[in-house]
Structure formats: structure tokens, C-alpha cells
Chains A and B, each alone.
Chain A
Amino acid sequence: MSITDTKPQLKGQNVATVNIFRYDPSTTDEAHYDSWQVPITGSMTVLDLLFYILEHEDGSLAFRYACREAICGSCALYVNGTYRLACKTQLKDLKATEINISPLPHLKVIKDLVVDMDPFWEKYERIRPYLITRDDLPEKEFLQDPADRLKMDDMVDCILCGACYSSCPQCWTDPEYLGPAALVKMNRFTVDTRDQANQERTKIFDNEHGVWRCHTIFNCVEACPKDINQTYSIQHLKRRAVARRFGGK
């Protein structure tokens, strides 16, 4: 049955204590955690758990969801001290009887588990996140060697969930820092053989709020639910910026 079909029965089930961050800035100044005892079934995910609470315990709970298969990037949350996608995190893999669910840290809370992603999208937009071509377009597709396509493989997997942005100490302290996701996107275009705007792109990331704020802390890599290596991309951009200083392309 689909995700919302089952209402687990308490009898004979394992029970977990669930603590969920609650905050509605439109009605209260104080945030708090609410606790529930929830019956859990074998393959129940954190998202199932949230739906269970929404439907059977507290209709006021707010959270984001869409695809429930780890591709849309809606449900990145901070679960038991780790960044996770709620939909692909099974409770049994948490290996804990107490489950703490918080919104992505360091982002403004709109309500409960829903955070304001605007700063994240703003950085995304800044890097000119689209292919820029100057020459006339070919009649058919651009030809691209499979090996060149492979260079983008890691970066095009990004689902823009915001976990890396939320985990990066530089993003906490410097609101102008582009952040891992935007820089990964940037690198995706700089390595794309079809893109012809490397000169402009360098100007966007080669400055003190750009790549140079990355201190290879690897929090983003630890947080990424899609196993993307953001640091790899950022380091690539750094080398490109230096090469450019010495007349490279």
C-alpha cells in the first residue's frame, strides 16, 4: 500500500518516542518540541511517521513532501543529529528508540519543519544556473564525448534539497557565501563542454564570498543525501580561478 494508506495498530508493535520541533512564528514567539509515542512498522520511514502524526495525532504539523522517493528534494530534515531525507530514512536504520526531528538548522523557520529556502535559491540564481552559448547553435544536438558527460555525473545528481547549505559553517556566518549547492551547479556548467561563459562564471565565484570561503570542512559532503562530493567541485573551481589568473582558460 502507498505511503499514507496504513494506519499502524498499537497492539504488538514497536513503539518509538518521537520528538518534533514545533514553531509557528505567526502565533507564538517560543519554539518547543512535541513528543508522541508512535507505533512503528517494519519499513516505516520518517516521512511515513510525519504523515502518521499529521493524520492521527496533530493536524497542525507542517512539513514538506512530494515524491517520497528521494529525487524531489523537498523533505531534507535534521533527524537524530544528522541531515537526512525523511522519505528515504527508515526508522529501523536510525537504530534508536527516540527520534528527534528538526527542520534544517540555520534557516529561518516558516512553520515547524518548513524552512525558508529563499537564501538558498538566491545563491542558486546568482551563479547563472543555465547553459550559456555564444556561437550559433548546431542544427542537431551538440556533440559531447561520453567521457566529458561523465565529468558532470556527480554534479547533475543534485536535488537542491538544501542539506549542504544548512550544514556549511561558512553559510552560517557569511550570508553572502554562495554555498556548496550553488557552487556544485557552477562547476557543473564550467565542466560542461557546451558552456561558453567561463570568463563570466569565474567572476561570480572568484571573490571573497565565492569559492574562497570554502575551507574544506566537508560538512556538506557528510550531509548530502545523494552522496555528491561538493568539496571536489569547489576545489575544482578554485584551481580554475588560479589557472585563470595565470592566463588559463
Chain B
Amino acid sequence: MPSMYHQVLIVGGGLAALRAAIEAKDAGLGVAVFTRVHPVRSHSVAAQGGVNGALANAEKGADDTIEKHAFDTVKGSDFLADQPAAITMTADAPKRIIEMEHWGCPFSRTSDGKIAQRPFGGAGYPRTCYAADKTGHALLHTMYEQAVKRNIKVYEEWTVLSLVVENGVCRGVIALDLRDGDIHPIGADAVIFGTGGTGRVYGRSTNSIIVTGSGMAIAYQAGVPLKDLEFIQFHPTSLFGNNVLITEAARGEGGYLRNVNGDRFMEKYAPKAMELGPRDIVARSIQTEINEGRGFPGGYVALDLTHLGAQKILERLPAIRDISINFVGIDPIEKPIPIQPGQHYTMGGIDTDVDGATTLKGFYAAGECACVSVHGANRLGGNSLLETIVFGQRAGAHASQYVKGNGRGRPSEDLLFDKLHEVRGRWERLRAADGPEDPAAIRDEMKATMIEKVGIFRDAQKMTDAVETVKRLQDRYQKVHVNYRGRRFNLDLLRTFELGMKLQLAEVIARGALDRKESRGSHARTDYKDRDDANWLKHTMAHHTPGGPRFDYKPVEITKWQPEARRY
């Protein structure tokens, strides 16, 4: 069977991937989307609170500007963000948001009919555009509608296993069709990854179960460096019990955080911003309350919305209400929601420039899997949806340009099939794996280790432990077994395969964190409590080697604002 070929091959079905696909399709190129789940099932759909853009629609935000948005982003990032990238993103923001509106996104409205904006953590103005508390759902469905309109070919339930590289140029991918278990080589002139973060490396994650980080790992294995992966965001408010996200909008709309004594403890930690401090600070504050015994039994605090009144909750936060009724049986109109911090976002990722281009020619990345870097050490709420639509578009546009200028056409069958045999060999070996180790046990231990030892508060002791544990788990993974050897929809095999990639990423995260001897943004060390701009104002770059990651560092681009102390 001859190989398949598409000019621009998009991997992933979320907002960034679809936005890139739309851009490439509009550029007149042959586009195909390969996605692990149907596009509308992608994790973008679960985003709740909103998307930031300096539209200045809200009354209190009338003098909001792109520059202020960029500054808030940089300050929120604890100055690790590349400032030109942050400026690019915030400058594109209004265009992209208006475009989504023109495409039909059902944004909530102000009384004069404009897109409504609400306050969000770490932002000086209400600039988070929203569609109730289902903004990701509204945006993703709109984006998919546009993909349908453009007749973009979607390969559903295909998962990419490897990149095909020839002389430093990306020439395609090797992908698995989950429905019949066949592995196919697919040639391409440009490959764009929009594969999402790596949340499920951690326990207590708010992410979809499909957020495995496999896209990052595949790029990493192909020699593309991963940047700043140790910066993992912990969302302050995830539902106690199963860590379903409770949006920041709950606080943006005026919700209070209370400890077991009923105190609004945020006045101790961020007296001005209170509950609307940036996520790293609020998450640490909550964890401190819990650690110091002022949490509720079991380890949680309360998110109190009762004073907002039924009407506001029903109008602005209906999904939050549904979630807490469904999962913990509590109606936030009547009682506070039990919450705890949970892993939420991967600030780091595949190293890209503002056009999504990587060190590997013809290979692009956008969205959570990429690290441009606009989020630096801590992402502001509402900037992740923005990142997907801005950098999805930019990656799509730049990849199209690249294909038009440097397109090499169909790669040779030899190249593709050589790679296919290699990947299929790995896959078949795993399919036959019959060792003593249970993959589920390895995964559970990895997740527990990561959340406990490379979690909100970190120190050398815990992280050394974590690195050792991950190494040990990687050894155990070599002796793993799979329970099912069939071909069709073999979840057991796929999940075990993904576990191997997760373990690689866990190692990158833990080692990068151990090496970074300072506290910055989400990376809070109890043994190095302060930010150290003299030594650590730089990006961690992890390169793949057979023995584990090799690290070097890259300077942060500081063009406009000099680092200052972060107070809220």
C-alpha cells in the first residue's frame, strides 16, 4: 500500500490545531487533521473562564490597552516570558477574538451588545471575554464548525506515534489508526502539532484523561528541545475529590476563598488582589492554609459563592453549578464548594518562536504543547485560550508560507517505510510484552510521585527522590506487560505506549525543576525561596539523549520591562 501524503499535516483536534488547519486550508494547501479523539472532544472544550484580549468593552476596563495586557502577562510570568512574544500575542488578541466572534462564537454580551468581559486573576482590568463559563466549549465548537465549512479532512481516532525526519527536515509522521490497529506512514511538507499539555503525568490533574503529553514526547524524541517544562501550573480551585476544574471566573465574578475558620485568608497573601491574585500565588496560599491545619478535614478549603445570589450564578456560572451538583452533590447557591489546588497547565513545551517554528525544519507547534514563551513561569487565566487561537493562526500561516516556498512534495517511500518499520517494531514488541510489571501500577506511582514531590512546594530532597523514582519506574517500564493483544481499539496497548512517553516527560520535569535553584512563578522551592534573576532568568532547554535529558539554557528576551518584585 502506498503511503498517504498531505501538504500540511495537523496533529491534534483542539483549538490551536484546528486554527492552524483553517489557516493552511485558506492558504490553498492540502490539509489533513489527525486526532486521537473527535475534534470537539479535545481538551480545549473543557476550558471554562474565558479568553483575554484588550477590547476595552467593560465599563471598568475602558482604558485597557494591548500594552497593559502584555505587561500583566509578563508580570504574571514572573518575568520569564519572552517579552516580544507576549507583545505579539496580546497585539493579535483583539483580531483573533473578533474573528471568532465573526465566525459565530456565542460570547456573552454587555448590555450594549459588545462581547462581555470579566475580571480574571493577575489582570489589572476586566479583559477576559467569555461565553458563560463554557468559553472553551463555545470556541472549540465554533472552530470545528469553521473546519467543517472549509471541508478539512479529519482523521478521527488516529494517533501519531512518531515524526519522520530526513536530514534535519520533518517529512511526515507515523500514525496509528485506533479503529483497526494499523500503523501508517504519512508524508507531509509541514507538520503542525497542537497536541496539548502533559497534565496526566501528575496526579490531581484537572486535565482530560487524554492529555498525556505524547505530542511533546514525540517531538522531544525527534530531537526538538523542550523548554521550561518544570513550570507546571496548579490551579487554585479544583473540585475536592476528583479535581474537576472550578473556573477562575468563580472568583472573577466575586467568589470568596475561606478556610475552616471562615476567614478570607487571601488578605494575608495578596491584600490588594485578594482572590484575584495570579494562580501560582493563590494556589500556594490555599496549600499553605491546608498544610498549616486551617483547611477542612481531608485537605481542602471552601470556595464561597453563596453571596453572589442565584441569578448571577445561574447566568454566569451555570456549568460550575452543574459540576458541583453532579460530582459532590453541593449546590453553590446554597453551600460553598470544597476545592483544592490541582495540576492544571504545562507552561513549558516544545520550543518554538512566535511563528510556531521549531529547530526542526518543517515542524511547527502551537497551543499548550508549545512554549513560545508567553507564559513564562506562570500563566494568567484566560491566556491559554488566547495562545491557542493566536499561535495556531501564526503557525498555520508560517507553515503554509514554508510549504509554498520550500515544499518538497511527496517524500520517498523508502524514507517513510524505513521509519514505519522501526516504529512498528517498537509497537509490536510492546504488543507482545509479557513482563511482570503492571503499567497501571507504574502510572499511579508516577502520578503520586509527581504531585507530592514536584508539586506546589518543592525542595531538593523531594525532587531528588522524584528523579530517582521516575528512573526506577522507567526501568520497571522496560519489563511491563500488556493484557490485550488484539488490534482493534486496543486501549490497553495505547495507554501503555503513552505511559512510556509520560515517564520521559516526568523525568524532564523533575530534573529541570531540581536544577533550577530559585523560586519563580509556579516553581516554588522551600530551600530557595527567592527569585534569582542574576543566575536563573533563563529558559531551561531539555534535549533528548538515550541516557535521559541533557539540559542547557537560553536567555530570556527582555525588551521592555525590567524584572521587578511581584506584588498583588
Contacts and interface: CB of A to CB of B under 8 A. Distances in A.
B209 A71 contact: no
Given A26-B487, A62-B491, A141 B203 contact: no
B101 A142 contact: yes
Contacts of A130: 103-104, 145-146, 148-149
Contacts of A156: 106, 131, 134, 138, 141
Interface string B185-202: 000000000000000100
Contact of B327 (A43, A112, A131, A195): A43
Nearest to B483: A59
A174 interface: no
Given A73-B40, A90-B327, A149-B106, 7 more contacts: A24-B488, A43-B241, A64-B37, A72-B43, A140-B114, A143-B112, A159-B45
Given A1-B203, A62-B491, A141 B242 contact: no
A95 interface: no
Contacts of A65: 209-210
Contact of A60 (B180, B208, B484): B484
A124 B110 CA distance: 31
Contacts of B241: 43
B109 interface: yes
Nearest to B205: A2
Contacts, number: 180
A191 B511 CA distance: 54
Contact of B109 (A54, A88, A125, A145): A145
11 contacts: A2-B200, A7-B440, A54-B491, A59-B482, A60-B490, A70-B326, A141-B107, A149-B108, A159-B40, A159-B45, A192-B104
Interface string B456-498: 0000000000000000000000000011101111111000000
A5 B489 contact: no
A36 to B, nearest CB: 14
Given A1-B204, A66-B37, A143 B113 contact: yes
Contacts of B37: 64, 66, 72, 74
B502 to A, nearest CB: 12
B148 A125 contact: yes
Interface of B: 37-38, 40-43, 45-46, 55, 98, 101-104, 106-115, 131-132, 134, 137-138, 141-142, 145-146, 148-149, 179-180, 200, 203-205, 208-210, 241-245, 319, 322-323, 326-328, 440, 443-444, 447-448, 482-484, 486-492
Contacts of B322: 70
B242 A60 contact: no
B145 A88 contact: no
Q: Which secondary structure dominates chain A's binding surface?
A: loop
Contacts of A178: none
A72 B45 contact: yes
B38 A117 contact: yes
Given A2-B204, A149-B108, A141 B114 contact: yes
Contact of A68 (B137, B242, B490, B491): B242
Given A43-B242, A129-B148, A2 B203 contact: yes
Contacts of A67: 41, 43, 45-46, 208-209
Given A54-B491, A62-B489, A159 B137 contact: yes
Contact of A73 (B41, B107, B319, B440): B41
Interface residues of A, number: 65
Interchain residue pairs A-B with the least CB separation, the first 7: A59-B483, A131-B104, A143-B113, A59-B492, A59-B484, A62-B489, A130-B145
B113 A145 contact: yes
Contacts of A63: 491
Given A24-B488, A61-B491, A156-B138, A5 B203 contact: yes
A144 B98 contact: no
Given A5-B444, A194-B104, A68 B244 contact: yes
Interface in A119-149: 121, 124-125, 128-131, 133, 137, 140-146, 149
Contact of B447 (A5, A58, A68): A5
A2 B326 contact: no
Interface in A58-99: 58-74, 88, 90
A55 B102 contact: no
Interface of A: 1-5, 7, 24, 26-27, 43, 54-56, 58-74, 88, 90, 110-112, 114, 117, 121, 124-125, 128-131, 133, 137, 140-146, 149, 152-153, 156-157, 159-160, 188-189, 192, 194-195
Contacts of B243: 2
Nearest to A61: B491
A137 to B, nearest CB: 5
Contact of B45 (A68, A71, A131, A133): A71
A66 B208 contact: yes
B409 to A, nearest CB: 30
A65 B326 CA distance: 18
Contacts of A1: 203-204, 448
A153 to B, nearest CB: 8
A37 B492 CA distance: 20
A60 B492 contact: yes
Nearest to A121: B38
A72 B104 contact: no
Contacts of B113: 143-146
Contact of B41 (A74, A114, A137): A74
B208 A110 contact: no
Contact of A141 (B45, B102, B138): B102
B134 A72 contact: no
Nearest to A50: B491
Contacts of A55: 440
Contacts of B487: 26
A125 B238 CA distance: 35
Nearest to B481: A59
A4 B209 CA distance: 9
A39 to B, nearest CB: 16
A110 B40 contact: no
Nearest to B110: A146
Contacts of A192: 104, 106
Contacts of A4: 209, 440, 443-444
Contacts of A61: 491
Contacts of B102: 131, 133, 137, 141-142
A64 B12 CA distance: 17
Contacts of B149: 128, 130
